[in-house]
Structure 1
Amino acid sequence: MFDVLGMDATAEVVYREMLAHPQDGVADLMRRLRLTEQAVLAALDTLSELALVRCSSEDPQNFHAVDPHLAADILLARQRAELAAQQQRVQEAQAAAVQLKSEFTQDRDELHRLKGVDCVRDYLATLYDRVEDELLTFAPGGAQTVANVRSSRPLAEKLLKRGVRMRTVYLDSARNDPATVEHADWLAALGGRIRTVPALPNRMVICDRRIAVVAVDCDDTAAGAVVLKTAGVVSSLYALFESVWQSAQPIGASALPTDTRRLSPQQTEVLRLLSLGHTDESVAARLGVSARTARRIATKLMDHLGARSRFQAGVHAVARGLIRP
């Protein structure tokens, strides 16, 4: 009952017994309460620390229990003092937190570097908590892993239920992964929108058209990212996203043209990359496919164009107007 006042159950029953039988000593308390000597002495120590018992003036060998009215005032005063001390500690903690934020804040910088994938994840977690209107994402790298899909769903669901508009652009290669397609359908059911393109320039997140997070190395996104807040820069990146979005296809639609004599967007992008001298491995990385798949696509295109090399296939494609130089 009195545990909220700092008195445990044994100390409480000993205190009550001492009030009922003021003349009792330790032996009497042991007998009446059926407690061991150690338990009684420990209870008396607790009561003494709470200033609820003191040595008797008449017999220093015995203890005197403080009047319960005075005891209540003592216990309440003790609790108020502890509460005031706790409030003081909270105020000091708040001041320390403000100081820490002011020393390491990222909001006042128009350009801030995030070093390493852990820093990027921490920043994005904070950013997602503050997004109010719209979240746009370029997600290169091909199919999403099962672990990534599973971990991202609670966040996506939370944002969409808050009314945040979410648009994400994946690579066309993600269409070949059932788990990614199923995730896209799940997002669409909640109001999210996903489209795909053959290739993406870089990994990027834009929040409310005012903050952009861009990978520092498109070939190694784990290296870190930069946070951009300059209005003109973010506006340009937003325009880039809109341009890519308009040319992208909803993931539920076919990425292949209905006219089999024409090239698919993925094949067109492969030819463009080959004309620039990219290797099969580089093409695979940009399209989010395996090197084997990239080689297979390139070989078919070479056969289709009658080219003897990958670079020559790109040159022929430019000459025939299949891709822009």
Structure 2
Amino acid sequence: MKLIHEESPQGGTYTPGELASKLHVTDAEARAAVARLTSLGMLRPADERDAYTSAAAGVTTARLVGSMHHSLQEAEKRIAEATLAMAALDQVSALAADVEGGDFLMVNHRDVNALLDAAAARCTSNLMTVQPGGPRTPEVLAQAHPRDTAMVDRGVRMRMLYPHSARRSSATAAIAECMTQAGAEVRTLTILCPRLIIFDRRIAFIPADDGLSALRIRHPSIVDFLAETFEAAWRLAKPFASNRDTGDGNAIASDIHRTLTRLFTEEDKDSAIARRLGISERSVRSHVAKLMARLGARNRTHLGYLLALEERHPLGEPASTDLGVES
């Protein structure tokens, strides 16, 4: 084939028979070689019947390599698409199986609600949930409401813990009242642990490091520990609606006042205090300003000193504290 290409200079025309005679090969061998060179673009049919002429070497190479490069790109594209499809299938398979094996599962934030829905559907007796961070948005509350009411309707005992600051949220108050009427129990506490959901003391969900994803826990000892932590907080918490019925509102405000005052001496930043209490930084700054005015503090450092003195020699506390938490 190499000899035939060399004997077919650009611009000249040859028939397979002429090439066979010149190169001393059989006619069948010449025709096979010509057919192969034509398929590679190195020869092309001439105007004369059964005659061929050579294509320019540079053009032939560019056309051949370009075609192969295009095919390689298409193959790489198909490989990438297949890889993505298999990754998606693996993820779906893991979710579908709800991964019965394994005590721990890191759940991507896009899949958290799907696993919560699956665990809620299997819940038969008890749900414990801690929702820190202040009032939840109406959108989040609306998303969880059908799942929660379905469990209560099945006879699941549902207990929900919120921070005291959630009492100032009209959306949270409406959901709490609705869930209480349905049979759930809702209480509030000054400071809560991070978000926690426990189904039947069997499966627990806690936040992951990124704050969006979640860690699902099945390990019996760890789930029991988390459940006991919830029980301890539950015993200290106050029923959500009781402040309107039994006068607990002043006690709750006083509780928040004491805790915020203590946190001021422990935390350097208002943002850390706000996060632990589930209130806004503006509310923290407002409270600090009131404390400075009440104690006659010249600055925050002086206020810390006066608060430390007051802790050792109490001077009395206000009957109520306005948190200024927006609804």
Q: For this structure pair, what is the TM-score category when the shorter chain's length is used for normalisation? A: 0.5 to 0.7
Cα displacement string for residues 197-243 of structure 1 (whole angstroms, at most 9, x for unaligned residues) = 112120000111111111124xx632x22122222211111111011
One-letter amino acid of the counterpart of residue 296, structure 1:
S
CA distance in 2, matches of 1:114, 1:201: 20
Q: Which runs of 5+ in 2 are unaligned?
A: 1-88, 316-327
Offset of 1:257 from its aligned partner? Answer: 3.5
Offset of 1:160 from its aligned partner? Answer: 0.7
Does residue 237 of the first structure (1) align with residue 226 of the second (2)? yes
Provide the TM-score with structure 1 as the length reference: 0.60
Q: 1:215–1:225: 8 Å Cα contact kept in structure 2?
A: yes
Give the secondary-structure state (helix, strand or coil) at the position aligned to 2:128: strand
Q: 1:140–1:171: 8 Å Cα contact kept in structure 2?
A: yes
Which of the pair has more CA radius of gyration?
Answer: 2
Question: Which residue among 284, 289, 305 is the counterpart of 1:312?
Answer: 305
CA distance in 1, matches of 2:159, 2:215: 21
Question: Which residue among 300, 309, 323 is the counterpart of 2:290?
Answer: 300
CA distance change for structure 1 residues 277 and 149 in 2, over 3 Å: closer, same or farther?
closer
CA distance in 1, matches of 2:144, 2:129: 13
1:1-20 to 2 correspondences below 5 Å: none
Q: 2:267–2:273: 8 Å Cα contact kept in structure 1?
A: no
Paired residues in the alignment total 219
Aligned match of 2:12 = none
CA distance in 1, matches of 2:191, 2:137: 19
CA distance change for structure 1 residues 271 and 209 in 2, over 3 Å: closer, same or farther?
same
Provide the TM-score with structure 2 as the length reference: 0.60
Aligned match of 2:273 = 283
Offset of 1:300 from its aligned partner? Answer: 2.2
CA distance change for structure 1 residues 252 and 227 in 2, over 3 Å: closer, same or farther?
same
Q: 1:302–1:313: 8 Å Cα contact kept in structure 2?
A: no
Question: Which residue among 251, 267, 279 is the counterpart of 2:240?
Answer: 251
CA distance change for structure 1 residues 104 and 315 in 2, over 3 Å: closer, same or farther?
farther
One-letter amino acid of the counterpart of residue 283, structure 1:
I
CA distance in 2, matches of 1:225, 1:321: 43
Does residue 145 of the first structure (1) align with residue 146 of the second (2)? no
One-letter amino acid of the counterpart of residue 119, structure 1:
D
Give the secondary-structure state (helix, strand or coil) at the position aligned to 2:191: coil
Does residue 185 of the first structure (1) align with residue 177 of the second (2)? yes
Structure 1 runs of 4+ with >6 Å offset: none
CA distance in 2, matches of 1:313, 1:280: 18
One-letter amino acid of the counterpart of residue 176, structure 2:
A
Question: Which residue among 162, 173, 181 is the counterpart of 2:165?
Answer: 173
Give the secondary-structure state (helix, strand or coil) at the position aligned to 1:183: helix
Q: 2:98–2:115: 8 Å Cα contact kept in structure 1?
A: no
Does residue 134 of the first structure (1) align with residue 144 of the second (2)? no
CA distance change for structure 1 residues 105 and 161 in 2, over 3 Å: closer, same or farther?
closer
Does residue 110 of the first structure (1) align with residue 99 of the second (2)? no
1:200-219 to 2 correspondences below 5 Å: 200-217=192-209
Give the secondary-structure state (helix, strand or coil) at the position aligned to 1:227: strand
Does residue 164 of the first structure (1) align with residue 161 of the second (2)? no
Q: Which runs of 5+ in 1 are unaligned?
A: 1-95
Aligned match of 1:227 = 216
CA distance in 2, matches of 1:135, 1:214: 14
